Structure 1
Amino acid sequence: MDIAAGFVWYEAPDWKLHTIVTAPPSSGRGAELGVPLHYNPKSYSNAFCNFAEDVNRDGWTDVICVDFPGTPTWWFENPKGADGDWKKHLCTPVTNNESPDFLDLDGDGKRELIAGFSPDPKQSDGPDRQMAFIKPDADPYQEWHRHAISAKAGPGTKRYSHGLGVGDVNKDGRNDIVVAAGWWEAPESLSDAEWKFHSAPFGEQGGENRAAQMYVYDFDGDGDNDVLSSSPHAFGIWWHEQFPGDNWKTHEIDKSFSQTHGICLADINGDGLMDFVTGKRWWAHGGNDPGGDQPAVFFWFELQRKDGRPHWTRHQFDHDSGPGTQFQVADVNGDKLLDVVSSNKKGVYYFEQVRE
């Protein structure tokens, strides 16, 4: 696999650097802050998330880039080996929430962007903002179609909202959407109708009720699904245990390092249980967050079950990198072992899993 990070990509296996665009595309606050392609740690990026997808179905992988929060998401058309900037196309003019995802929500085999949006690009936090899944129409070169699922001004829909995930919370066979304040229940048939919202305490408690990427999984093996979340700008990783009647109990997994702004759920050791990977996003707020100057550690947490309870063993694989706002777990080198790829203010890193 090759690796895309922001507006560049690295060609495997020697990681030759290629430019996707030579100037950041943002016209929103990222540009107002003077965010360059090479920025200092006190500034911010014009690329909060990258996804690889053959958007125009021409057999070449394109790159989707979620810009600065509250600004557009773009897709960049692969030039099929030609030199020069990749052609930029608009997906959606406003992308709210700092943990958007791109996955197959509705089970049709095609991935959708899950994010908050506002119909007015000049008011990303305006009163008409909603949660939505956003997907290409038949013509991928046109602006993507937004399917709103929430009431207006719903939780998790502001530009700087933190916490978003997808999973089958109630085990009815349909993917629901999860935010720090609760979850939206997917109806039998997806449309633009409003989904039912269930309040739940999935974010930081006693703080700003934030989270990073969120995951739905049966961690304790009792037959119902639970929720995993973490603190993006303070300390804490939690699993939220589900009980009958849509009741929840929060359990702390770790609070020894801060700024877990990126987290991935994956079966790292291949034992059939879903582990998770996370670490410290170094200087997420320019060093002003709690623990901001502590080492940018990176761990995977091994899930084990004993007497019907989940337990996690923490394994450190780096001490000076950490995640950014997003990272990926994938078999990069094709050896059937999952690896980790991250990019942040420390650089771009590929961690190869090696077993003795």
Structure 2
Amino acid sequence: MSNNVTYENVNKIYGEGSKNPVHALKDVSFTINPGELFCLLGPSGCGKTTLLRSTAGLEEISSGKMYYGDVDISTIPPYKRNIGMVFQSFALYPHMSIFENVAYGLRVRKVPNDEVKKKVTQVMELVGLQEELKRNPSPTALSGGQQQRVAIARALVYDPDILLLDEPLANLDAKLRRYMRAEIRRIQKATNITTIFVTHDQEEAMAVGDRLAVLRKGIVEQIGTSDELYNEPKNAFVANFIGKMNFFESTVIDSSKDSIDVEIKGKGIRFAIPKAKCRTQAKKGDSVLIGGRPEQLIVSAAPLNKCIEGNVHIIQHLGSFIRYEVTIDSSISPVALEIDMDSLQKDIHEGDRVYVGFKEDKISLFSPEGREL
């Protein structure tokens, strides 16, 4: 039965004591539930792979504790942690058959041959490669998706306590990535192994994970389900990393018990943002950001109530919606907006002057701090 994985004030400093140390992890503390598929998400250099490698024992943490259940694994050598890991490169042995690739961990553990054959057969059935196992070629004779499943089978065959996936879909094409992320979720739920999945692709994380942790510069910014992070981001960074958020530089005009009144700078457009939609404790005169996702804005050829003028740069047909990229003038520099409409606006063409409006009940308010990725 799986246990939880807990991090308590985990720090990792590269070059500690040198002139230019790098603080890769900063007091990371959270718990992954038993049997959970948990995603670590963030831009390059945010610390997600460092945390994964520290969990595996491939990196030694500078301070803090890591637990599997009640057992402190912080100082346990990697080979004693009983952790399965799938690398971005798959790391399969081309000189071995796929059977021997999967069996490798069992061979190292000196498992009897009969048990090896039984376990390899079972796990290859789990990942849907029983026919390939009958042929038993080298991994080089398999497709990218099949090689990925062999790598997963190799990590699962010795019943690890924790499964670690380090950007496992990065080397696959877009269509195969979509298929494999569903396969990974199916396999993980079938085994119920506590799993940590690292990716920089927010769509991938939202599709795969039970919960997600968004990291930035070694700090965990927010943890929650895909729905929580998309609809209730705690700050501008999370809002713009989980999906797209259009921001408008604004100023607080007034506030009441129920809302904050703001005005978009240089546009004279005012909104009363309900406190439930405010991710900042702003006061009168403060600079803030109005945030609206692409589907929370409207583009029109005719003027709208509370609208901003702009020019259509690109129109993209994306299947279930049409994306309009519109550039508006700003007090600082031109701002590019993304607006998603349910259908093609036949009176709007690339290069046209248009009006951008707001679905007022959807927009949110953020502090300008931490906006950049």
For normalisation by structure 1, the TM-score amounts to 0.26
Structure whose residues are more often strand by fraction: 1
| Structure with more helix by fraction | 2
Q: Which has the higher contact order (CA 8 A, sep 6+)?
A: 2
